[in-house]
Structure 1
């Protein structure tokens, strides 16, 4: 299978070469002259957009042996934003094989955040256990990821503008389905490429997503006005690496340092009540908004604004369905979360990894394509909804102080449809659960045990994720636990399915423990006893 995948990748690379002026391989031109259309052999995936989501998905798929073409348009580098990446991004960097490149990329590291929110007092929050995040200029960060994608074997086409995407029928079966992407390049040539999957990673542009997938949130309409500032003598902060966030009566502002002397400072306003009126209007509005702050206004005294402020839409939207036959909406193409979370880039990278897993699974095991697509949509919606709920909590806190429609409207609008998904199993709560404690005491006091499976327990195959594919994994399923209904396989590294299967065969806990560690990776006795107690408390096992 790997050889077949690599062969497709090599053919796709060769397809865009012209030898001695003649078409090579599947490459041919429709028409002649200035508007000639170049058509190449199909790829496994065509990715639209060269931001973090597109570059990450391209790198992963190419490194897994798939043929990938990434189309990225020419962007205005002068309007690139500064963004904060939390320490938890490192796990995603590791998945991408990008950690060393990013750590050596010259990005400023950050130890946390300083916030003036709601009540106006200063709150300083350091990252847990001394971890550090990254403060990046998006243009530089995106360029690094694109280089990594190309080094993995993805074809990166710069200066590409997508003109049309002809998707496979939406009524077809989930999985690979040939679609056609037509695009132009800076040299005015026209190209046409087919692929088994099209990944819309075009962010807010939503080349595919705008075709009826998206749902706008009219109560979360926000415009970001940004500019860069420098201060030659430094910023006089206790920790100049911190992201700064401050609320005021009808908006909020945030500042990301990208060097010890240079910061991005952005204000968030409601465009429904903001008349920008051209460049002078943008400058005037930006200065007025900065004037409404207290801490940031003081910080910028004596600093120099290096750029004319520019605006970008930061309004929220989401997609109820994040893909179909041969197409996925990835990162900000599927949904946009409030910048307040500082998780925008992390969300894009996580979405890209999951999209790459779905594509790889569908191309190598089409029988799981439908399961993989459903999992992708579910995870995308869960991430979006969790972010909205978190932001609503912060907005409510600010509304209590400012009592302005900017805040009260946002505080009352963040209730996504449907119940809130249950959190992962809470180990701390289980340790205090009376039923679990009682089960533990029963085990400790018993001379021998007789265990059988509970009448309401089911062991069912449920979708699960590995590093690069969706698989079906046996899990314990009980009516009320875990509350998310997805079932559970492991608890503190204890394989619960194997434990339930072994338990009826032994009458002594030490014998059961020894049998378990012979068949499964070693675990500690306290963790084993805790897991066994939970299974009894939840009814997965019962004492006969």
Structure 2
């Protein structure tokens, strides 16, 4: 028997489940294929502060309130030279250390309650695409079956991106991790505190994790692992550290390692087979925002998919998806390159630091237009803007003062064509561009700005413009828009 869906998602990690929940909210028929039975062990317990907003947006904020999870953890950082810096939880944002096996299972249960159809444990063994639909052959303990869908979202993590389909964004490293006996650590580094430190052979991260344990993870070059093996490499790096000392790391069999690399898929959107999460891109672990980035991009992918299914034309949806993916990768590459370059100036010139000091975006090959866009955005300098501040005078007196004066728009004001999310769909809209705006701006308070300015008659006064706008929008909203434009010096 063949079962039909609009969307099939492969992989029940944070990326896949975020997309599932959002697409179900939009009214789509969604199925999910997950190879493992839940709960299953999973690293990646550290969630950055921005995750909270995403969980709340998904209606899943209560999942982070589990008593076993840790939050408000201070961090002591010794990056490059100088004295270590202590950041209290309030300074760095309220992140979490969670039990990923438990959290992922809870997210899956929430999606199922919303109507998600699951095949678990199961895996796709073959696929074909014809007449704008996919036919997937599924193998499971319950037997083999066939399902069809308009769209397939691949959230299988690194298994969803073969090495020949990736463009590496930085030199690969090896992550080595284990749990340590907290009583053998310096008092300031015991389970109440996270630690990040650069050493000669790489850098080390440590943090308390649920279950009254302390996780230590070191990142180094493969050359060191080949020479000494994971256990001795970890001990060497810990012996070089100021913040960790030489804690007991337990049995050698408890020490695990894996290759860690930052990459982007060369063709993340192909014939409505769309990559999300680590199947699309990975970030250097230095950012500690991998889960948040995957979930945030899945929200944007859900909007692109909904747009495509609603309009029947994938062109705008795909362009939006690729633009958002290129921006996410480029922003991260610039940020991590800066941190690695600064530390490489002072650390011993081990293979790890030499590779990162000498690596540049110009080394990346460009196999297609999408990778060209990623490289172009990552290579250019991040724009520097002065954010618009609140007017120095109250809005009401300002409006009164300007009421009978003619509107004067800044000579530095221009317009661009941008993607805009209207409701749950992507559209192409005109945007304001000005040096004092952090980015091209389409909406303020959900009101589209360019039509307000484009329809102003020659010589119109501020009072006449406001009266005209108030025929369509509430005066309270117009005041906010007026204050925004005045603060950014769009009005002169």
TM-score by length of 2: 0.82
Q: Does 1:449 align with 2:405?
A: yes
For 2:201 and 2:416, locate their aligned partners in 1 and report how far apart those are by CA, in whole Å.
51
Matched, 1:216 2:164: no
Tell me how large the CA RMSD over aligned residues is: 3.8
Determine the C-alpha separation between the residues in 2 that align with 1:274 and 1:93. Answer: 38
Corresponding residue number in structure 2 for 1:528? 482
Match of 2:75 in 1: 113
Note if 1:231 corresponds to 2:182: yes
8 Å contact 1:358–1:376 — kept in the other structure? Answer: yes
Q: Tell me the distance in 1 between the aligned counterparts of 2:89 and 2:201.
A: 29
Select the residue among 500, 503, 516 that pairs with 2:453.
500
Map residues 333-348 of structure 1 onto 2, 5 A cutoff: 333-348=279-294
- The Cα shift of 1:527 comes to 6.3
**Segment drifting more, 421-430 vs 460-469:** 421-430
Is residue 2:231 matched to residue 1:283?
yes
2:275 maps to 1:329:
yes
- Report the equivalent of 2:149: 195
Moved more, 153-162 or 459-468: 459-468
Q: How far apart are residue 531 of structure 1 and its match?
A: 0.8
Distance 1:527 1:412, change over 3 A: farther
Asked if 1:181 corresponds to 2:136, the answer is yes
The answer (yes or no) to whether the contact 1:115–1:246 under 8 Å persists in 2 is yes
**Does the alignment pair 1:293 with 2:247?**
no
Residue number in structure 2 paired with 1:468: 424
Residue 225 of structure 2 aligns to a residue whose secondary structure is coil
Query: Is 1:80 equivalent to 2:42 in the alignment?
Result: yes
1:372 to 314, 317, 341: 317
- Kept in 1, the 8 Å contact 2:387–2:438? The answer is no
Query: Aligned in 2, Cα 1:43/1:111: closer, same or farther, shift over 3 Å?
Result: same
Deviations 1:375-425, CA, capped at 9 Å, x for gaps? 111111111111111111111121111142312321332536214375596
Q: Which moved more, 1:149-158 or 1:192-201?
A: 149-158
Q: Does residue 56 of the first structure (1) align with residue 18 of the second (2)? A: yes
| Structure-2 change in CA distance of 1:83 and 1:364 (3 Å) | same
What is the aligned partner in structure 2 of residue 436 from structure 1? none
Aligned match of 1:174 = none
3-state secondary structure, aligned to 2:325: helix
Alpha-carbon distance in 1 for matches of 2:53, 2:226: 42
Q: How has the CA–CA distance of structure 1 residues 345 and 462 changed in structure 2, closer, same or farther, with 3 Å as cutoff?
A: same
Q: Distance in 1 between matches of 2:304 and 2:226?
A: 44
Q: Secondary structure at the match of 1:297?
A: coil
What's 1:390 paired with?
A: 335
Deviations 1:477-523 (A, max 9, x none): 68x88696xx4223587753244146437754345445445533424
Name the SS of the counterpart of 1:427 in structure 2.
coil
Cα drift, residue 128 of structure 1: 4.9
Whether the 8 Å contact between 1:240 and 1:260 is mirrored in structure 2 is: no
CA distance in 1, matches of 2:459, 2:60: 48
Number of residue equivalences: 472
Matched, 1:43 2:1: no
Q: Which residue of 2 aligns with 1:20?
A: none
1:165–1:396 CA distance, 2 compared to 1 (3 A) = same
CA–CA distance in 2 between the matches of 1:163 and 1:536? 57
Comparing 468-477 with 57-66, greater Cα deviation is found at 468-477
SS, match of residue 68 in structure 2: coil
Could you tell me which residue of structure 2 aligns to residue 315 of structure 1? 261
Does the residue aligned with 2:96 lie in a helix, a strand or coil? Answer: strand
Matches within 5 A, 1:411-430: 411-415=357-361, 417-419=375-377, 420=380, 423=383, 426-428=386-388
CA distance in 1, matches of 2:415, 2:44: 48
Which residue is equivalent to 2:370? none
**1:154 lines up with 2:116 in the alignment:** yes
**Gap change, CA 1:289 and 1:191, over 3 Å in 2:** farther
CA distance in 1, matches of 2:348, 2:390: 40
> Please, which moves more after superposition, 353-362 or 409-418?
409-418
Partner of 1:144 in structure 2?
A: 106
Partner of 1:17: none
**Corresponding residue number in structure 2 for 1:257:** 208
**2:367 match:** none
User: 1:66 and 1:447 mapped to 2: Cα distance?
Assistant: 50
Deviation of the 1:238 alpha carbon: 7.9
**468 and 233 in structure 1: CA distance in 2 versus 1, 3 angstrom threshold:** farther
SS at match of 1:149: helix
In the alignment, which of 70, 94, 114 is matched to residue 32 of structure 2?
A: 70
Q: Deviations over 1:355-375 (max 9, x none)?
A: 2112222112223x2111111
Bigger drift between 251-260 and 409-418 goes to 409-418
Residues 178 and 197 in structure 1, CA contact (< 8 A), matched pair in contact too:
yes
| Most deviating of 139-148 and 508-517 | 508-517
CA distance in 2, matches of 1:150, 1:350: 21
Work out whether residues 45 and 196 of structure 1, in 8 Å CA contact, stay in contact via their aligned partners in 2. Answer: yes
